[in-house]
């Protein structure tokens, strides 16, 4: 199993600024993912964070808007760049190990953009 923490847990930001969200896993994992959950909606996969290489983005998400880093097997960051009110969402990271049956999720970061 894995315990995942995220920082910050919530933030209120001004339009045009950027916020970096950190995700820390308590064990080495094969894969890490970033999801967005807009108000009242389901989760949408943003990208797969690849260790040592560029993230793999899903359709509709681009690196310039959501740059992702994964410097090692336990840590990843997601930056939401040049924010607008439409970016107000909960951002969640998750982790998966090839020997696991399940994917573990962090508690999420609640972002409000004014």
Partner 1 sequence: DAKTTQPTSMDCAEGRAANLPCNHSTISGNEYVYWYRQIHSQGPQYIIHGLKNNETNEMASLIITEDRKSSTLILPHATLRDTAVYYCIVNNQGGKLIFGQGTELSVKP
Binding site for partner 1 (CB under 8 A): 4, 30-31, 33, 35, 42-45, 48, 92, 94, 96, 101-108
Nearer to partner 1, 13 or 45 (CB): 45
Q: Are strands 10-13 and 109-113 parallel, antiparallel or unpaired?
A: parallel
Shortest Å, Cβ 16 to partner 1: 28
Nearer to partner 1, 106 or 111 (CB): 106
Cis upstream peptide for 8 (omega within 30°)? yes
Shortest Å, Cβ 79 to partner 1: 20
Count the Cβ atoms, other than its own, within 10 Å of residue 95: 27
34, 49 contact by CB (below 8 A): yes
């Amino acid at each position: 199993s894995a315990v995942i923490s995220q920082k910050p847990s919530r933030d209120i930001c001004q339009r045009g600024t950027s916020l970096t969200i950190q995700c820390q896993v308590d064990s080495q994992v094969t894969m890490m993912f970033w999801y967005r959950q807009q108000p009242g909606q389901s989760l949408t996969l943003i990208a797969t964070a690849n260790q040592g290489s560029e993230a793999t983005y899903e359709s509709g998400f681009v690196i310039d808007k959501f740059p992702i880093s994964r410097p090692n097997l336990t840590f990843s960051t997601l930056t939401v760049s040049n924010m607008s009110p439409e970016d107000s969402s909960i951002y969640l990271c998750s982790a998966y190990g090839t020997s696991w049956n399940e994917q573990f999720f962090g508690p999420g970061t609640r972002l409000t953009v004014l």
